[in-house]
């Protein structure tokens, strides 16, 4: 039973323990509120490093951290494992599969899911990276493909088993392509001496005429040249229109024989956005007020990838930095509302962007400066270690990176589940 003090405290419910939700919780912790964290997973996931789990570089546990472990050190904060089904705005109640949760303030930051743009065959056969299980499944598939190639008598099919198509020339596609070609050339080439891994293909497909569209021209050019120099086949102005278990079809009818298709060509708001009773806009996102609240519901904040925020005539991207800043703002806005103060409209401060390409190679554009090569790679490493949650995770990730840097070995080359036969095309 709650005592009188507990009943009188305002309750803030935060949905989604991604980059935005975690920042909101940190702001509200110890401020005299009853803060309830709600997520269908019991951990915070550092999504930017999922591709390294998929390419056998990191253990999956090293990029996740239990939410309850974080909440232990946050006064007034508790966690509820639940799947959110909707919101009753009139009753100020969150509907979940674990029962209703009442709120005085609600922060919704359930993130995003992969957008396949209506390509059903691609959605059936492609891999993506949004959850821990996705990374493990993709790693299993890549390693299993090489195991199958060892015993495959047909040279064409053998090469298709060692061919990997990556769709999307953004940071995820670039980073995954670079990590995958290094895995093949430096690690799997030693593991499978009976295979001619020089015949393996990593094909990166981008629908526009440029990679890393948000980067300056010289960094985009460096990225393209570096990837091609590493052995990645980069196809620009190309679109995937169909896919099967053993082939990928392009817009011009060209067919790439490949048993692995990885999709990183777009995201859309999580399905929860459609359950809020608010008409979504492009990408399934929710249009919010300048203070990130819903129209007619000043106690409800939408943050991160789910929020459609216009600034200087453009919609803010669905990225981790935007999620973090919106999460911090929502927490501060709630504290201001309780104190009877107003806050200025949300304003995103772009601190730049970066992407790693491979060992000693990355690009970064930040604070008016452009970096590439070793300097950008070092900055990328340090920033990712800084934003990882958990001292142990930082140490484990750093040791894995050091080991790979000196020995070109990736220790997590484990097939942890067997694949079921793929459906026919």
Q: Model confidence over 297-327: pLDDT tens digits?
A: 999 999 999 999 999 999 999 999 999 999 9
Which residues are within 8 A (CB) of 342 and not within 5 positions of it... i.e. 6 or more apart? 336
Q: How far apart are CA 139 and CA 134, in angstroms?
A: 9
Residue 419: per-residue pLDDT: 75
Residue 16 corresponds to which tokens in the numbers above?
Answer: 């989604």
Q: What's the pTM value of the predicted model, to 2 decimals?
A: 0.94
Note the pLDDT of residue 4: 46
pLDDT digits (tens, 9 = 90+) for 345-378: 999 999 899 999 999 999 999 878 899 999 999 9
CA 53 to centroid of chain Cα atoms: 12
Give DSSP secondary structure letters for 28-44: HTTSS-EEEEEESSSEE
Domain 4-40+82-114+268-338 matches domain 120-265+352-407 at the CATH topology level: yes
| Residue ranges of domains in the chain | 4-40+82-114+268-338, 120-265+352-407
- Which residues does the annotation mark as catalytic? 175
Question: Tell me: the pLDDT tens digits for 205-230?
Answer: 999 999 999 999 999 999 999 999 99
Measured CA to CA, the distance from residue 355 to residue 174 in angstroms comes to: 8
CATH topology of domain 4-40+82-114+268-338: FAD/NAD(P)-binding domain (3.50.50)
Answer yes or no: are the C-beta atoms of 61 and 367 closer than 8 Å: no
Domain 120-265+352-407 class in CATH? alpha beta
Give the pLDDT band of residue 1 (cuts 50, 70, 90): very low
CB atoms within 10 A of CB 295: 11
Cα separations in angstroms, 84 against 15, 98, 281, 367: 8, 9, 21, 39
Q: What span, in angstroms and rounded, lies between the C-alpha atoms of 203 and 167?
A: 8
Mean pLDDT (the chain) is: 94
pLDDT in tens, 20-66: 999 999 999 999 999 999 999 999 999 999 999 999 999 999 999 99
pLDDT tops 60 at residue 12: yes
Q: What average pLDDT score do residues 396-412 get?
A: 93
């Amino acid at each position: 039973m709650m005592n009188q003090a507990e009943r009188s405290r305002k309750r803030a419910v935060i949905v989604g323990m991604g980059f935005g939700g975690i920042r909101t919780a940190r702001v509200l912790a110890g401020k005299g509120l009853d803060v309830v964290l709600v997520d269908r997973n019991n951990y915070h996931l550092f999504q930017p490093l999922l591709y390294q789990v998929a390419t056998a570089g990191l253990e999956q546990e090293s990029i996740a951290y239990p939410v309850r472990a974080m909440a232990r050190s946050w006064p007034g904060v508790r966690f509820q494992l639940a799947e959110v089904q909707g919101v009753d705005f009139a009753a100020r109640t969150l509907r979940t599969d674990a029962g209703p949760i009442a709120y005085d303030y609600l922060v919704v930051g359930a993130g995003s899911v992969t957008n396949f743009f209506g390509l059903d065959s691609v959605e059936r056969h492609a891999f993506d990276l949004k959850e821990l299980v996705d990374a493990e499944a993709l790693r299993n598939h890549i390693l299993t493909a090489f195991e199958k190639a060892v015993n495959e008598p047909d040279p064409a099919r053998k090469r298709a088993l060692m061919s990997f198509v990556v769709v999307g020339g953004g940071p995820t596609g670039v980073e995954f392509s670079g990590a995958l070609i290094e895995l093949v050339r430096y690690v799997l080439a030693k593991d499978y001496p009976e295979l001619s891994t020089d015949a393996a293909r990593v094909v990166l497909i981008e629908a526009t005429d440029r990679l890393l569209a948000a980067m300056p021209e010289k960094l985009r050019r460096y990225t393209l040249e570096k990837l091609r120099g590493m052995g990645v086949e980069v196809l620009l102005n190309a679109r995937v229109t169909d896919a099967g278990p053993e082939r990928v079809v392009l817009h011009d009818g060209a067919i790439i024989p490949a048993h692995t298709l990885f999709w990183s060509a777009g995201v859309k708001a999580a399905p929860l956005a459609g359950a809020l009773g608010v008409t979504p806009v492009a990408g399934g996102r929710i249009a919010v007020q300048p203070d990130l609240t819903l129209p007619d519901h000043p106690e409800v904040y939408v943050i991160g990838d789910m929020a459609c925020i216009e600034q200087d005539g453009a919609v803010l991207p669905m990225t981790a930095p935007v999620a973090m800043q919106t999460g911090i703002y929502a927490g501060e806005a709630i504290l201001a509302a309780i104190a009877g103060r107003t806050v200025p409209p949300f304003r995103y401060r772009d601190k730049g962007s970066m992407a790693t390409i491979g060992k000693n190679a990355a690009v970064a554009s930040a604070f008016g400066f452009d970096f590439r090569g070793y300097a950008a790679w070092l900055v990328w490493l340090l920033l990712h270690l800084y934003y990882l949650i958990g001292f142990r995770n930082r140490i484990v990730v750093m040791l894995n990176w050091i080991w790979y840097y000196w020995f070109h070995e990736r220790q997590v080359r484990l097939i942890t589940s067997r694949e079921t036969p793929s459906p026919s095309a």
